[in-house]
């Protein structure tokens, strides 16, 4: 049985308390509840609820403009470079001609069209789907803020720039990148394009990531536990090797924490590599390595690796159902976290100090005390702790971002995903774009790579 040091338990307690304080900082003073109740009360069940509770009625895409409103739109387009977008994409010259002719159906059509294109790029991202390699995030913003409704709000309030600005991502990194773009001279063409590409990547995600979430940046090999955009804890990661096992970009929900997991060995190993026959022929060897094999009446061999220090998933995994079979988990090969280059897995994200993360998630998500979380992890038994306060989990790919030290940094493009995004910036914006991912779904079969 593994025992946890006071240092680990202290790290878990500290992370949980910092996270709880971040969420509760605006709450009115109240009597101190019991420890397990404090976490439940601080973590309101908002993450698992949809951003919009009902589908709003969609306004038309062409509406009536005044000349003054259209002139305000021109000013926005002329300054849109500050957001990493290109004024040439929004038919500025024809719009000015329509304005010069005064109020008309042509002005309504031209101004509405340019405004809608701005909404699409600022809300959803300018990069077309075929340039977003292995990107499978379902962005809720299009449904939450239909283009016609945004247009109606802008014309009703008369605040054209303010209405559009509300579409910008709320994560602090978007503002940091925008400031970096402003500070980068026009002569630094390659750097400006890289900044613009990574600003656009923020638009591919939900505008607001939620009050608490996990976010990992694959090229940085880092995972952050974040509350109200405040980083509570950071963890080194091991991600998928380049090629078919590269880690995809996802936005999922962590539904539970599995302590002391079992691992059902895929048939590619059971049959293809002969593991099943070996365990059946040598049960003692199988037990020594934690494997239990069964053979069905039809002859199919199933092998399950039992919980233990040698289990390929380590001591925990985060339950995160998705069609790619990607999740966060521990590893028995913890020495690999010392490597600078950590694209070594078959796609799943291995996490440093995984038990600390698991116990913190159990405390914050279920209302368990520190002692309860430690006892579950220490039991050596397979235990799934379902989270009543679910957490979003974002697997992202930024090659320029704020690092864990708070500094703007660039990261190696380990999967070569920058090239198509950068190339799209040199082309006219794609009109009538699809919102469905075009990349192949690659299901991860195993995660045993140790080199």
Please give the pLDDT value at position 15.
Answer: 64
d(CA 238, CA 337): 7
Q: What is the pLDDT of residue 162?
A: 98
DSSP letters of 36-98?
HHHHHHHS-TTTTS-S-SSPPPPPPS-----HHHHHHHHHHHHTGGGGT--GGGG-HHHHHHH
CB atoms within 10 A of CB 282: 12
CATH 2.40.440.10 domain locations along the chain: 9-24+34-51+209-262+307-416
DSSP string, 129-149: GGGSTTB----THHHHS-HHH
Q: Is 265 helix (H, G, I), strand (E, B) or coil?
A: coil
Across-strand partners of 292?
304
> Average pLDDT for residues 335-362, to the nearest whole number?
94
For residue 183, the SS3 value is: coil
Taking the mean position of all CA atoms in its chain, how far away is CA 52? Answer: 19
pLDDT for 125: 97
Q: Which two tokens stand for residue 48?
A: 């698992």
When mean pLDDT is compared across 6-10, 100-104, 292-296, 328-332, the lowest value belongs to 6-10
**What number is the average pLDDT over the span 314-328?**
93
Entry field: residues in the chain:
451
| Tokens representing residue 188 in the block | 């630094």
| Mean pLDDT within 50-70 | 78
User: Residue 392 has which token pair?
Assistant: 């979003």
pLDDT at 285: 92
What is the mean pLDDT of the segment spanning 390-413?
96
Closest CA to 392 of 229, 136, 212: 212
Q: What is the pLDDT of residue 83?
A: 98
Classified as helix, coil or strand, 400 is strand
Tokens standing for residue 30: 């109240």
Whether residue 352 has pLDDT greater than 90: yes
Q: pLDDT tens digit string along 73-107?
A: 999 999 999 999 999 999 999 999 999 999 999 99
Model confidence at 55: pLDDT above 80: no
- Give per-residue pLDDT as tens, 236-253: 999 999 999 999 999 999
State residue 267's pLDDT score: 84
> pLDDT (tens digit, 9 = 90+) per residue, 402-441?
999 999 999 999 999 999 999 999 999 999 888 888 888 8
Helix (H, G, I), strand (E, B) or coil at 294: strand
**Domain 9-24+34-51+209-262+307-416 homologous superfamily, CATH:** L,D-transpeptidase catalytic domain-like (2.40.440.10)
Compute how many other C-beta atoms are within 10 angstroms of the C-beta atom of residue 62: 17
The CA-based angle 6-11-12, given to 5 degrees, is 100
The better pLDDT of the pair 141, 390 is held by 141
The Cβ of residue 103 has, within 10 Å, a number of other Cβ atoms equal to 14
DSSP for 154-199 reads HHHH--HHHHHHTTS--SHHHHHHHHHHHTS-TT-HHHHHHHHHHH
pLDDT score, position 241: 95
């Amino acid at each position: 049985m593994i025992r946890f040091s006071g240092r680990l338990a202290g790290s878990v307690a500290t992370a949980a308390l910092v996270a709880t304080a971040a969420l509760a900082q605006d709450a009115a003073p109240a009597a101190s509840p019991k420890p397990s109740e404090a976490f439940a009360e601080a973590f309101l069940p908002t993450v698992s609820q949809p951003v919009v509770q009902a589908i709003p009625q969609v306004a038309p895409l062409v509406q009536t403009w005044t000349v003054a409103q259209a002139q305000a739109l021109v000013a926005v387009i002329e300054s849109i470079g500050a957001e990493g977008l290109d004024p040439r994409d929004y038919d500025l010259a024809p719009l000015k001609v329509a304005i010069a002719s005064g109020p008309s159906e042509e002005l309504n059509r031209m101004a509405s069209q340019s405004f809608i294109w701005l909404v699409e790029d600022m809300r959803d991202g300018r990069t077309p789907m075929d340039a977003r390699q292995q990107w499978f995030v379902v962005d809720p913003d299009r449904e939450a803020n239909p283009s016609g409704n945004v247009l109606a709000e802008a014309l009703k309030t008369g605040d054209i720039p303010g209405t559009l600005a509300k579409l910008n991502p709320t994560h602090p990194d978007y503002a940091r990148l925008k400031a970096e773009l402003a500070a980068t001279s026009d002569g630094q063409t390659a750097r400006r394009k890289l900044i613009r590409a990574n600003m656009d990547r923020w638009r591919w995600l939900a505008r607001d990531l939620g009050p608490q979430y996990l976010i990992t940046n694959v090229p940085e090999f880092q995972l952050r536990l974040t509350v109200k955009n405040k980083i509570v804890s950071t963890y080194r990661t091991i991600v998928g090797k380049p090629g078919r096992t590269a880690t995809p970009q996802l936005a999922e929900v962590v539904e539970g924490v599995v302590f002391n997991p079992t691992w059902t060995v895929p048939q590619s190993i059971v049959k293809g590599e002969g593991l099943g026959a070996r365990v059946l022929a040598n049960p003692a060897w199988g037990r020594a390595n934690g494997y239990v094999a069964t053979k069905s009446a039809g002859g199919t061999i199933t092998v399950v690796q039992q919980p233990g220090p040698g289990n390929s998933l380590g001591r925990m995994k985060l339950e995160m159902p998705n069609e790619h079979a990607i999740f966060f988990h521990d590893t028995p090969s913890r020495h690999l976290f010392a490597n600078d280059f950590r694209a070594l897995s078959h796609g799943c994200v291995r996490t440093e100090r995984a038990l600390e993360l698991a116990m913190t998630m159990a405390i914050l998500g279920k209302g368990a005390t520190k002692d309860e979380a430690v006892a579950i992890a220490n039991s050596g038994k397979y235990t799934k702790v379902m989270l009543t306060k679910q957490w979003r989990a974002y697997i992202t790919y930024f090659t320029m971002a704020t690092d864990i030290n708070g500094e703007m940094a660039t990261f190696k493009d380990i999967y070569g995903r920058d090239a198509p995004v950068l190339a799209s910036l040199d082309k006219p914006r794609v009109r009538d774009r699809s919102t469905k991912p075009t990349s192949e779904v690659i299901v991860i079969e195993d995660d045993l790579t140790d080199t």
